[in-house]
Amino acid sequence: MTIVGIDLGTTTSLVAAVRDGGPQVLAALPSAVAWLGDGTARTGDEALLGEAVLGVKRHLADPAEPGLPGPVEAAAEILRALRERAQAALGEPVGQAVLAVPAHFHPGQRQALREAARQAGLEVVRMPSDPVAAALAYAHEAPLQGTFAVFDLGGGTFDLSLLRVDGDMIDVLATLGDDRLGGDDLDRALVAALAHDAGAVVDLAPALVRARAAREALSLRLDADVDLPLAGGGRLRRRVTRGQLDHIVAPALQRCLAMCRRALAHARLRPAEIEAVVMSGGATRSPTVQRFVGALFEQRPRAAIDPTRVVALGAAAHGAMLAQGGPLLVNDALSRAIGLEVGEGVVVPLLPRGSTLPASAHVAVPAGVALHLVHGEDEFPRRFATFEASGEVRVLLDADGVARVTVGGEAVALRWPHAAEAGRDTVLMAPIPRDDA
């Protein structure tokens, strides 16, 4: 049976498989879901005809509204649609998948994605990070050797991973990311700048669609017309140059580059030591993004494989290797520190950022206190799972970064993010300021 590769994207999702000796995309659809009155769902282009739920990937760890389908159920519908389309393309049942995941996703988000796949009838055999999948797509075309950076800027998430590739072994040296930063935020910055200059209030949802079209057009041309609908009727029409776009999106891209510098420092690498920079995610097709990245790493980024497809293609290549019993070994690493909150606000560190997966830690906990697994290095780490136990507790993260807890060798039930407090599981991105200097 074919093991397919899946990239559940913020704006577009893809399923791929190895056919005729190489990975090929079998189907792609907008990451949109619309729920009908009878409880059934429409996905992709059909969903966009009505009131669709968008950006599910950004909200996988968010609680569901009482009595309504949540982000996990919405993601499951998208994955089910991809599975059905893959079955139609392959002419055989599809029940297993390599499901790529943003490198910075915490264990709660990874568990939510795995649960969505289960609801869609898919067994997840591996969950490589998006940057690892992108590297595998290139490795399938030609052997890789050396230290690589993968700059992954999709519709709603950003990852930067530094990888050391040696034959059939991939070691993740460092990874950083932000699940509230992506191409969507570049579109918001463009809309905000144009509306501010005109002193106008736009109809945001359709304005963002028009802004994205203009941003993508500026990947091919030096200027583009933008036509934004206003909230009270009427239109805001402007011509935007590529240079103006550079200025408008610079604050968001500088946030990306700051994480790149931190990752390099963590891995104790200089830009000159990077063999190549691989571009992944639709937003990286922009010459603006490529110029920013190229300036930091002192080289022209590599985008020979379509950045919008490279993750799905790499996941498919990984699936084919697993199906054939290949020797590929991926040593992934934690992008965020993991700790245990004992009671209210007392956090016991368990696993530091950069720990090689799989990993485990032990801690003794008293009886009668609330226990929360948390992630993050800042002053306010965020909860991603809750459980009850006492005595010697072992926290384990498997090779895919999914957590489980045991006491005395017996598994302990975990309550995952969708059942936790919204305020501790949601990180809201601050508005991107416009630099008028």
Protein fold of 183-247: Actin; Chain A, domain 4 (3.90.640)
pLDDT at 261 over 80: yes
Looking at residue 419, its pLDDT comes to 41
- Dihedral, CA of residue 287, residue 293, residue 295 and residue 296, to nearest 10: 170
What kind of architecture, by CATH, is found in domain 3-138+308-331?
2-Layer Sandwich (3.30)
- Give residues with Cβ within 8 angstroms of 84, minimum separation 6: none
Question: Which residue has better confidence, 67 or 351?
Answer: 351
Q: Where in the chain is the domain with CATH 3.90.640.10?
A: 183-247
Q: What is the mean pLDDT of residues 58-70?
A: 80
| 3-state DSSP assignment of residue 220 | coil
User: Tens digits of per-residue pLDDT, 371-414?
Assistant: 889 988 766 678 888 888 888 899 999 999 999 999 888 888 88
Can you tell me the distance from the alpha carbon of 263 to that of 259, in angstroms, rounded to the nearest whole number? 6
Looking at residue 159, its pLDDT comes to 87
Q: pLDDT confidence of 67, banded at 50, 70, 90?
A: confident
Q: Where in the chain is the domain with CATH 3.30.420.40?
A: 3-138+308-331, 145-179+254-297
Q: What is the mean pLDDT of residues 5-11?
A: 93
User: Tens digits of per-residue pLDDT, 287-302?
Assistant: 889 999 999 999 999 9
Q: Say whether domain 145-179+254-297 belongs to CATH 3.30.420.40.
A: yes
Looking at residue 327, its pLDDT comes to 63
Looking at residue 70, its pLDDT comes to 87
- Give residues with Cβ within 8 angstroms of 22, minimum separation 6: 140
Strands 223-229 and 96-100: unpaired
- Sign of the dihedral defined by the CA atoms of residues 362, 364, 369, 375, in that order: negative
Q: pLDDT confidence of 435, banded at 50, 70, 90?
A: very low
Can you tell me the distance from the alpha carbon of 152 to that of 302, in angstroms, rounded to the nearest whole number? 12
Can you tell me the distance from the alpha carbon of 427 to that of 185, in angstroms, rounded to the nearest whole number? 15
User: Tens digits of per-residue pLDDT, 299-332?
Assistant: 999 999 999 999 999 999 999 989 888 766 788 8
Structure tokens at 366: 């008293």
Strands 41-43 and 53-54: unpaired
Can you tell me the distance from the alpha carbon of 98 to that of 104, in angstroms, rounded to the nearest whole number? 18
HEC secondary structure over 322-380: HHCCCCCEEECECCCCEEEEECCCEEEEEECCCCECCEEEEEEECCCCCEEEEECCCCC
Question: Quick check: 79 and 66 in contact, CB under 8 A?
Answer: no
Considering the chain, what is the average pLDDT of its residues? 86
Structure tokens at 260: 């790149």
- Give residues with Cβ within 8 angstroms of 307, minimum separation 6: 279, 280, 281, 282, 284, 285
Can you tell me the distance from the alpha carbon of 327 to that of 335, in angstroms, rounded to the nearest whole number? 25
In one letter, which amino acid is 114?
A: R
User: Tens digits of per-residue pLDDT, 161-186?
Assistant: 999 998 778 899 998 888 778 888 89
Q: pLDDT confidence of 420, banded at 50, 70, 90?
A: very low
Phi, psi angle pair for 361, to nearest 5°: -150, 150
Could you give the C-alpha distances from 263 to 62, 268, 401, in angstroms and in order?
A: 27, 8, 19
Can you tell me the distance from the alpha carbon of 87 to that of 435, in angstroms, rounded to the nearest whole number? 49
Q: What is the mean pLDDT of residues 153-164?
A: 89
- Give residues with Cβ within 8 angstroms of 80, minimum separation 6: 43, 119, 120, 121
pLDDT at 53 over 90: no
